[in-house]
Amino acid sequence: MATKEYSFYPGCSSERKASASNYMVSVETMCKTLDVKLNEIPDWNCCGASIGYAQGGELPRHAMNARNIALSEKSFGNQDIVATCAACWLGAKESQERINHSESLMGDINTILGEIGLKYEGKQHIRHMVEVLIEDFGYDELKKPVKKPLEGIKIAGYVGCQTNRPFGVAGESFENPKYLDKLVETMGGEPVEKYDQKVTCCGGALAFSEPEKSYVQIKKIIESAYDFGAEMIVTPCPVCQMNVEVYQDQINKKYNTKFKIPVLYYSQLMAVAYGADAKGAGLDGNIVRATKLEEIAARK
């Protein structure tokens, strides 16, 4: 198959020494195997995230996303825009939808971008990486490069919110999306199909501002994974990954629990299954180490 190219929007958390830097490492490894070329949008900026609304307001938020889209148009206008972060994808897609459906917004956005010599058309498709995997490859195609199936590992597919609502992935239901389970299965792992907190909110940005309330959410997400026998959790979102992984000790202290469950990105599972070593799969970036995956990665 020929190389597939996309205009790539990595987002702030994917930067070096940022909270999802290991996501980026594993995505690069995965894309190498799949012969995907990600063309980074030159000088992209933050999408405003979901918490940007309060101080940012409407137009400034859309302007942030419109700048990225306009920069992409200039450099890679004939390619789809792909984001790996759920919030980046949602923010960009939402702004594009709003601007494209309103003449007055379109006018204002181009007045704003005109100040910095850019023009917005908004014709590219904006997609999340999992859409690329599912739609441009498909599960059968994704299975072909598997060298080390993740045999015997029970994995809970924690989809979370923002790749699932309000847009979601085509063909999936909001209440019980199956794509992570299918990806786990494709990589030879064992999806925990009964996992009943797969679309529960982790608290998002409120894990910062209202930690106690978010811990209740995170506790539910982890407890259910354990209840149904999961050995690790997999997610497509940097905020979900961070919230569910890094606060486990805080929750243990507060609720007298003994949580210690690894939380991985789908791309880390895929990198390992495709034969990458632990570093290439970004496993050294997990605070709760995924020892079972490390063992597979170390196997010759």
Partner 1 sequence: MTTQAVEKYHNDFLKEVEQNVEMGSWVKMCMQCGVCSGSCPLGPHWDHPPQEIFMMIRAGKREEVLTSESMWMCTSCYNCVVRCPRELPITHIMHGLANYAHRLGIAHKQNPTRRFATIFWNNIAKSGRVNELELSVRLYFMDGIVKGIKTGLAMLPVGLGMLKTKRLDPMGLVSHHGCKGKADIHKMLKKANELEDKRKGYA
Distance in Å, CB of 222 to partner 1, minimum: 15
Binding mask 238-277 for partner 1 (x = CB under 8 A): --------xx-xx---------------------------
What is the rounded CA–CA span in Å between residue 221 and residue 93? Answer: 27
Distance in Å, CB of 84 to partner 1, minimum: 15
Q: If residue 222 lies in a helix (H) or strand (E), which one and from where to where?
A: helix 211-227
Give whichever of 34 and 90 is closer to partner 1, judged by the CB atom: 90
Q: 39, 100, 176, 200: which one contacts partner 1 (CB under 8 A)? A: 200
Residues paired with residue 36 on neighbouring β-strands, in sequence order? 4
Is residue 151 a contact residue for partner 1 (CB under 8 A)? Answer: no
Other beta carbons within 10 Å of 228: 15
Is residue 20 a contact residue for partner 1 (CB under 8 A)? Answer: yes
What is the rounded CA–CA span in Å between residue 201 and residue 116? Answer: 38
Give whichever of 138 and 287 is closer to partner 1, judged by the CB atom: 287
Residues 6+ away with beta carbon under 8 Å from 141: none
What is the rounded CA–CA span in Å between residue 132 and residue 31? Answer: 11
Is residue 209 a contact residue for partner 1 (CB under 8 A)? Answer: yes
Task: Write out the two tokens for 251.
Answer: 């929750």
Distance in Å, CB of 92 to partner 1, minimum: 14
Is residue 176 a contact residue for partner 1 (CB under 8 A)? Answer: no
Q: Are 87 and 239 in contact (CB under 8 A)?
A: yes
Distance in Å, CB of 165 to partner 1, minimum: 4
Is residue 108 a contact residue for partner 1 (CB under 8 A)? Answer: yes
